[in-house]
């Protein structure tokens, strides 16, 4: 399994390129602002052919480059329908501070919209793309259409979870933005995160790689849920 990632743009959004091996087809996950050069470097270095873009949710820091990335390669993008509107109207789902930052970065002329080939995800579906099998876990809370992409354990690799802004190393995605819901987030953590094996490798939307086992014992949100189901608190992250 080939997994390469890098933080892109002013928000440090992790963009990943994943393939079964070098010189094979690959997937691009969350091409944020200024991710194009990093994607091209990885693809060229490993002799890869991009075949699809997977979007964990619709916030602009995760989808900024989806149109040029898909357009240049003639490939589809996948997103949950509940976040589709954010592609054309990114201002509808960010904080006032984020909107001010975005306006200053673009001189008020942000170009938004959908890629030519946009495909919609639903909870529990199985995707097989680039020779990789993923299960889609709808995990609302950060946004209504947040999803995680889960690759089951194989003889060579542990389970891999592309968690987007649902779960981070030591934290979770913030739920105070338009479309966010803290109760839904806690439910997503209970139903979609806690049942996973401790060996599951978590590739989050921001920050470093972690594991479910580490988060189960150190992440304040998960430890509170494990202990007694109480409503946890702690710092959250996201746009």
Confidence category of residue 154, pLDDT binned at 50, 70, 90 = confident
Residue-wise pLDDT tens digits, 57-84 = 999 999 999 999 999 999 999 999 999 9
pLDDT at 42 over 80: yes
pLDDT at 109 over 70: no
Half-sphere exposure of 53 (CA within 13 A, CB side): 32
Residue-wise pLDDT tens digits, 155-182 = 888 999 999 999 999 999 999 999 999 9
pLDDT at 232 over 60: no
pLDDT at 10 over 70: yes
Burial, 23: exposed, middle or buried (Cβ in 10 Å; 0-12, 13-18, 19+)?
exposed
Domains within the chain, CATH numbers bracketed: 2-237 (3.60.15.10)
pLDDT at 110 over 80: no
């Amino acid at each position: 399994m080939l997994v390469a990632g890098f933080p892109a743009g002013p928000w440090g959004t992790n963009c990943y390129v994943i393939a079964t091996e070098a010189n094979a087809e690959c997937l691009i996950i969350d091409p944020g602002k200024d991710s194009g050069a990093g994607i091209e470097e990885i693809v060229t270095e490993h002799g890869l052919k991009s075949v699809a873009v997977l979007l964990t949710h619709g916030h602009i820091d995760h989808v900024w480059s989806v149109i040029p990335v898909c357009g240049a390669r003639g490939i589809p993008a996948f997103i949950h329908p509940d976040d589709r509107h954010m592609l054309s109207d990114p201002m509808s789902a960010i904080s006032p501070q984020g909107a001010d930052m975005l306006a200053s970065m673009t001189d008020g002329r942000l170009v938004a919209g959908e890629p030519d080939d946009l495909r919609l995800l639903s909870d529990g579906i199985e995707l097989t793309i680039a020779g990789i099998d993923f299960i889609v876990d709808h995990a609302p809370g950060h946004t209504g259409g947040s999803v995680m992409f889960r690759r089951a354990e194989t003889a060579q690799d542990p389970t891999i979870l592309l968690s987007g802004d649902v779960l981070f190393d030591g934290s979770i995605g913030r739920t105070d933005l338009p479309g966010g819901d803290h109760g839904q987030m806690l439910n997503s953590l209970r139903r979609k995160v806690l049942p996973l094996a401790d060996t599951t490798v978590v590739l989050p939307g921001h920050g470093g790689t972690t594991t479910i086992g580490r988060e189960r014992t150190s992440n304040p949100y998960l430890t509170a849920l494990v202990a007694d189901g109480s409503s946890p608190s702690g710092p959250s992250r996201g746009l």
